[in-house]
Amino acid sequence: MSQHMRDDLFRQALGEDVQPLTKGRDKADVEHSPSAPSEAQLARRAQAEADDKESNFLSDEFVDLIGPADPIEYRRDGIQIGVLERLRHGGYAPEASLHLQKKPLEVCRRELFRFIRDAREHDLRCVLVVHGRSKEAEGQANIVRSYIGKWLAQFDDVQAYVSAHKSHGGLGATYAMLRKSERARARNRERQQKRRG
């Protein structure tokens, strides 16, 4: 089949309404900016930020920087070391992840607060926070990572956290283990009763 015949078949398959692009129209239109947010969108955004400022208890005060090659870890009293070890080796699959790489510190604070709050509302147990890693102690990612360690400990619902297994980002990410909710405990009790009965 000749190239001409293939072109004709292609045009027939597309239909008559399809028109070729004119010269100069094969590039993205970068001169026109996207439309500005509507008043309703701006109002929702302002309300969400006001709600977070009102309830966000995460401290934005000075934090001691963690060494860029040092893992981070924490466990509350009563949490077994075995849980921390299993968490460290990726033994609990993250059910959700939050990516904070290259974001300003205040945005990280706000998004982490929402993320942990939402994870609790959805009865998640293990989550992953991806913050990146700097080679310098005062690099942006290492500053964020140091604050993540401070902030996670401020949540009563966070039982433990530890630097992630290399398959999930190593020192550039952190696993957090959340307390089991009362709803999840009730479901477990029901399952156990059904097995017994």
65-116: per-residue pLDDT in tens? 999 999 999 999 999 999 999 999 999 999 999 999 999 999 999 999 999 9
Identify the three-state secondary structure at position 47.
helix
* Per-residue pLDDT, 41: 81
* Per-residue pLDDT, 39: 83
* Per-residue pLDDT, 67: 93
Highest mean pLDDT among 29-33, 35-39, 118-122, 182-186: 118-122
* Per-residue pLDDT, 145: 96
Whether residue 129 contacts residue 174, with contact meaning beta carbons closer than 8 Å, is answered with: yes
The single residue listed with the structure tokens 């077994």 is 80
CA 91 vs. chain centroid, Å, equals 19
Domains in the chain (CATH in brackets) are: 68-181 (3.30.1370.110)
Whether residue 164 contacts residue 106, with contact meaning beta carbons closer than 8 Å, is answered with: no
* Per-residue pLDDT, 35: 75
What is the number of alpha carbons within 13 Å of residue 13 lying toward its C-beta? Answer: 6
Q: CB count, 10 Å around CB of 181?
A: 16
Return the DSSP state at 67: P
- Tell me the per-residue pLDDT of 5-26, one tens digit each, with 9 for 90 and over: 777 776 776 666 666 666 555 5
